[in-house]
Structure 1
Amino acid sequence: MEVQQLLDTNEARLKAVIEATPECIKIVGPDGLVQFMNKAGLCMVEATEGQSVEGACVFDLIAPDHRATWIENHNRVCQGESINWEFDIIGLRGSRRHMETHAVPLRNSDGTYSQLAVTHDITAKKVAERALKRNEIILKGQKYALEQAVHGYPLREVLETIVRTVEEQSERQLFASILLMAKDGKHLLLGASPSLPQTYNDAVDGGEIGPLAGSCGTAAFTGEEILVEDIANNPLWANYKDLALSHGLRACWSTPILSSQRTPLATFSLYYPTEQMPAAEDRQAVELMARTAGIVIEWYKDVAERKALMAQLETRVSERTDELNNVNAALQSSNDTLEQFAHVASHDLKEPVRKIKIFTSRLQDEAGEQLNDKGKTYLHKILSSAERMSTMIEGVLNYSVQNGSQQINEKVDLNTTITEIRNDLEVLIQQKQADITVDPLPVIEGDRILIHQLFYNLLNNSLKFTRDGVPPKIVIRAVPVLPDDVASYDIIVTDNGIGFDQEQSEKIFETFTRLNSKDKYDGTGLGLSLCRKIVQRHHGTITATSEYGEGATFSITLPVLQPAPDVAQEHKLNA
């Protein structure tokens, strides 16, 4: 009696433990009928307290796609094996759960075996694992798509990466597509749709958007998402359902891809082979990847616009270059014409002027005493005009020849140069009673004729532009300049003449510029322009400082040695 009582007590305790455990504990006979299931198991299969699954076939609770494997493993347990496996069940209310079971054989009184199993509901665990896997796939796809964009991959390849990412995270349960808004804003062009049939892609490429243009065309038209869970019976697909159904497409969800300015750039669509709503996970994936697609599409659009702008700029630069080349050619032609004119002037114009001067002088000598004062004045004016014309022709000739000639460099002793110039101007120096002081000057490299012309013009100007009743006083000195790269000298010419306003210090070097009346001071206005041209040809500089009525100072900086031809050309280009 005590033994039976003890057994009854232990059995009661065991039942209490089995009923209290949170895992499903069940016994399934060889025929698949449920012999026992605790409360936790009944809850998992969605059975109410009044319902019982004992005597029912457990196979009906197994998800159809897992049923064959479950029956195979059950038979193995009933033959004496212990097995662990995972499977899905569909509860009495239709909910699907993912289970993990540990099953062992339980010997029956007739010698057969039933399945004794402890089963855990691992649905939450699997959902978390799938979510983590989806997130990893999405992050990887986003990263790779952006890397492709940065490295300049074709836009279609980048969009295909985005589309395949959405398909992969759904475990290939859908087909994704991106259609791009055409420039006219009225049509959609194929962007990327690698998993849909090519015949379907060809048919939708270039389709017009509108209020009844399927899911994609309508989403692009309205700027809002369009969900069609039954293509066959939805009015949005009335004109396109035969195309979709013929390719096995039964449902479609499409959402617009917007720019940073909230304007439609494209559409992102999901197609399903069954009539259904898109899963929440799929919509979340599209939301993330659509943002990436928007960034990429807008980036490529900006790049294309910049390339188009650069092409326009290059075209304009090319056109401008052609214009400049034409202008340069015209200038060269003009320069050639000017040089030809200078040669004509040297031979054809100078000769008549020379004859005017000769015959005027003869007339003055032979008939001077017979002319009255007015005739003598006219004769003097004719001779003065002829002299000025001769001087001007000579100046134009010198200036033209200076522009076109090649420079011949040699050692030039400036002391000798100044001595020769003083000899040339001896009569004028005596007439003016000029005092010229010359300090020791350096030997430099340059064109002897041009250097002579440079200082001749400067000294001639100092002798010409003098104050009334004040004998000219001219001082020439040299100051060495020793920078790190090129040894040079400042040659300074100072006079006590009429001077000029400092504001005119640049203007005096311009061609044909005269600051004084030609009636009082003769000349062409070319002398100082020619001086600057000669100095520039020798890679130097010339500046002038003065105060009106207080004389002038000209500072000419010249290098001791002229640069080699290639260096000289580079210097010219940089200038």
Structure 2
Amino acid sequence: MEVQHLLDTNEARLKAVIEATPECIKIVSPDGQLQFMNKAGLCMIEATDAQSVVGGCVFDLIAPEHRAAWIDNHNRVCNGESLHWEFDIIGLNGTRRHMETHAVPMSNSEGTLSQLAVTHDISLKKASDRVLKRNAIILKGQKYALEQAVHGRPIKDVLDTIVKTVEEQSECQLFACILLLAPDGKHLLHGASPSLPQHYNEAVDGGEIGPFAGSCGTAAFKGEEITVADIENDPLWANYKELALSHGLRACWSTPILSSQNKPLATFSLYFRTKQTPSPDDREAVELMARTAGIVIEWYREISERKALMAQLETRVSERTTELNNVNAELQSSNDTLEQFAHVASHDLKEPVRKIKIFTSRLQEEVGDQLTDRGKTYLNKILSSAERMSTMIEGVLNYSVQNGAEQLTEKIDLNVTITEIRNDLEVLIQQKHAEITVGQLPVIEGDRILIHQLFYNLLNNSLKFTNDTTYPKIGIEATPVVNGHQAAYNITITDNGIGFDQKQREKIFDTFTRLNSKDKYDGTGLGLALCKKIVQRHHGMISASSEYGKGAAFQVVLPVVQPGSGGEQPV
């Protein structure tokens, strides 16, 4: 009696534990009849009590797509195996749950084996895993699409990545598509739809948008999402349903892809093979990827516009460069012609002017005593004008020859050059009682004849433009400087002459420019222009400073070594 009492007590305790367990505990016979199920299991299959299900076949509770696998595993357990697997059930009230079961064989009194199983409802865990997986897929797709864009991949490749990401997160239960709004704003162009049939893609490429243009064309036209759960019977697809149905497409949902200014750029569409609407998860995935697509499309359009603008600018620059080259060629040709003309004209004019001077001098000698004072004045004026004309012709000739001559480079000791110039101007220096002070001057590279002409003109100017009451004082000094990246010397020539208005400091280097009366100071107006051109040909600079009545200072900066000459810079 005590043993029986103990057995009864233990059985009662076991039943209490089984009933209190939150997992489903069940026993299923080899033919699939439910022999036992605890309260937790009855709740999972939505049964009100055990009597309503015990003795019934559990196969009917298994989701159709999992039923065959479940029966196969059940038979294996009833043949002595212990197994673990997952499946979906559909409760008596239609609720779907994802289950995980651990099953072992249990002996029956008649010698057969039944399935004893402990089953867990893992629907929430499975849903959480799906969310994590979906988020990981979407995040990976967004990252890869942006990387492709940054690395300059074609926009089709980037949009394909975006579309495939949406398809993958749905476990390929749908077809995704992006159509781009054409530049005219009236048509849709194929963007990406790698899973749709090629014939369908070709057919919709270039389709016109409108109020009854399927899901995509209508979404682009209205700027809002369009849901068509039944393509066959929806009026929006009246003109296109044969195309869709022939490719097994039964439903379509489309939403516009907007720019940063909320203007339509494209449409993002989902196609289904059954009549349905997109799930919240699919809509969320499209919303996220559509933002990425909007960024990419807008960026590529900006790049395309910039490239087009750059191409236009390059074309305009090329055209302008060609025009400038043509103008420069014409100017060069004109300059060459003018230089030739100046050279020929000045050279040919020298002879008649020489004859005017000769015959005027002979006339003075032969009949000078017979002329009146007025006649003598006229002859003097003729001779003076001839002298000035001869000087001007010589200046024009020198200017034209210097402008076209090839420069010969050699080492020049400026100390020697100034000494030679002082000898050339000896008579004028004596007449003017001029005092010339010269510091130590450098050795530079240049054309010896042109450098001589440069300093001759500058010294001659200082001697010419003097006050009648003051003896000329002229100073020449040299200071080392850096001109750009080249060693150079700044050679300064100062005088105490009449000077000039500082406002004229640039004008004095222009051709034929005279600041003083030609009756009082002779000259051609070419001297300083020639100086400027010589300095420029030697890659130097020339400038002047003065105050009227207080002398002038000319600064000439010349490099020690001429560029391209192969000479060595001084240390």
User: Structure 2-normalised TM-score?
Assistant: 0.94
Rounded to whole Å, the distance in 1 between the matches of 2:52 and 2:419 is 136
**Residue of structure 2 equivalent to 1:278:** 278
**Residue of structure 1 equivalent to 2:402:** 402
Deviation of 1:135 (Å)? 1.3
Counterpart mapping for 1:63-462 below 5 A:
63-462=63-462
Task: Note closer, same or farther for the CA distance 1:548–1:54 as it changes in structure 2 (3 Å cut).
Answer: same
Establish whether residue 539 from structure 1 lines up as the match of residue 539 from structure 2: yes
Deviation of 1:329 (Å)? 0.2
Amino acid corresponding to residue 198 of structure 2 in structure 1: Q
Q: Check the 8 A contact 2:42/2:50 in 1, yes or no.
A: no
Task: Note closer, same or farther for the CA distance 1:127–1:363 as it changes in structure 2 (3 Å cut).
Answer: same
Deviations 1:316-354 (A, max 9, x none): 110111011012101210121022112212332222222
Deviation of 1:479 (Å)? 4.2
Range with bigger deviation, 320-329 or 470-479 = 470-479
Amino acid corresponding to residue 57 of structure 1 in structure 2: C
Task: Note closer, same or farther for the CA distance 1:489–1:199 as it changes in structure 2 (3 Å cut).
Answer: closer
Rounded to whole Å, the distance in 1 between the matches of 2:300 and 2:567 is 46
Counterpart mapping for 1:43-54 below 5 A:
43-49=43-49, 52-54=52-54
Deviation of 1:371 (Å)? 3.9
Task: Note closer, same or farther for the CA distance 1:443–1:10 as it changes in structure 2 (3 Å cut).
Answer: closer
Classify the secondary structure of the residue corresponding to 2:332. helix
Counterpart mapping for 1:549-560 below 5 A:
549-560=549-560
Deviation of 1:6 (Å)? 4.2
Amino acid corresponding to residue 538 of structure 1 in structure 2: H
Rounded to whole Å, the distance in 1 between the matches of 2:484 and 2:350 is 49
Deviations 1:271-299 (A, max 9, x none): 11111121111111111111111111111
Unmatched 5+ residue regions in structure 1? Answer: 569-575
Rounded to whole Å, the distance in 2 between the matches of 1:484 and 1:216 is 66
Deviations 1:15-58 (A, max 9, x none): 32222211111122222122222221121112235972122211
Deviations 1:450-500 (A, max 9, x none): 121111111111121111222222233444558997554443322211011
Unmatched 5+ residue regions in structure 2? Answer: none
Amino acid corresponding to residue 454 of structure 2 in structure 1: L
Rounded to whole Å, the distance in 2 between the matches of 1:348 and 1:249 is 97
Rounded to whole Å, the distance in 2 between the matches of 1:93 and 1:325 is 89
Q: Check the 8 A contact 2:347/2:397 in 1, yes or no.
A: no
Rounded to whole Å, the distance in 2 between the matches of 1:59 and 1:339 is 112
**Residue of structure 2 equivalent to 1:571:** none
**Backbone CA RMSD of aligned residues:** 2.3
Range with bigger deviation, 507-516 or 476-485 = 476-485
Classify the secondary structure of the residue corresponding to 1:513. coil
**Residue of structure 2 equivalent to 1:573:** none
Amino acid corresponding to residue 114 of structure 2 in structure 1: S
Range with bigger deviation, 141-150 or 526-535 = 526-535
Rounded to whole Å, the distance in 2 between the matches of 1:567 and 1:205 is 70
Establish whether residue 510 from structure 1 lines up as the match of residue 505 from structure 2: no
Amino acid corresponding to residue 300 of structure 2 in structure 1: Y
Rounded to whole Å, the distance in 2 between the matches of 1:530 and 1:303 is 53
Task: Note closer, same or farther for the CA distance 1:520–1:405 as it changes in structure 2 (3 Å cut).
Answer: same
Deviations 1:155-189 (A, max 9, x none): 00111011111111111111111100100011000
Deviation of 1:505 (Å)? 2.4
Amino acid corresponding to residue 104 of structure 1 in structure 2: V
**Residue of structure 2 equivalent to 1:14:** 14
Classify the secondary structure of the residue corresponding to 1:232. coil
Classify the secondary structure of the residue corresponding to 2:80. coil
Rounded to whole Å, the distance in 2 between the matches of 1:385 and 1:90 is 126
**Residue of structure 1 equivalent to 2:495:** 495
Range with bigger deviation, 161-170 or 374-383 = 374-383
Task: Note closer, same or farther for the CA distance 1:181–1:437 as it changes in structure 2 (3 Å cut).
Answer: same
**Stretches of 4+ moved more than 6 A in 1?**
482-485
Range with bigger deviation, 329-338 or 438-447 = 438-447
Deviation of 1:438 (Å)? 3.5
**Residue of structure 2 equivalent to 1:33:** 33
Amino acid corresponding to residue 216 of structure 1 in structure 2: C
Task: Note closer, same or farther for the CA distance 1:21–1:470 as it changes in structure 2 (3 Å cut).
Answer: same
Amino acid corresponding to residue 224 of structure 2 in structure 1: E
Q: Check the 8 A contact 2:462/2:474 in 1, yes or no.
A: yes
Rounded to whole Å, the distance in 2 between the matches of 1:437 and 1:291 is 83
Report percent identity of matched pairs: 80
Deviation of 1:528 (Å)? 1.2
Amino acid corresponding to residue 264 of structure 2 in structure 1: P
Rounded to whole Å, the distance in 2 between the matches of 1:98 and 1:107 is 28
Deviations 1:71-102 (A, max 9, x none): 11111222222221111111122221111111
Deviation of 1:430 (Å)? 3.2
Deviation of 1:414 (Å)? 2.9
Deviation of 1:538 (Å)? 2.5
Task: Note closer, same or farther for the CA distance 1:478–1:281 as it changes in structure 2 (3 Å cut).
Answer: closer
User: Structure 1-normalised TM-score?
Assistant: 0.93
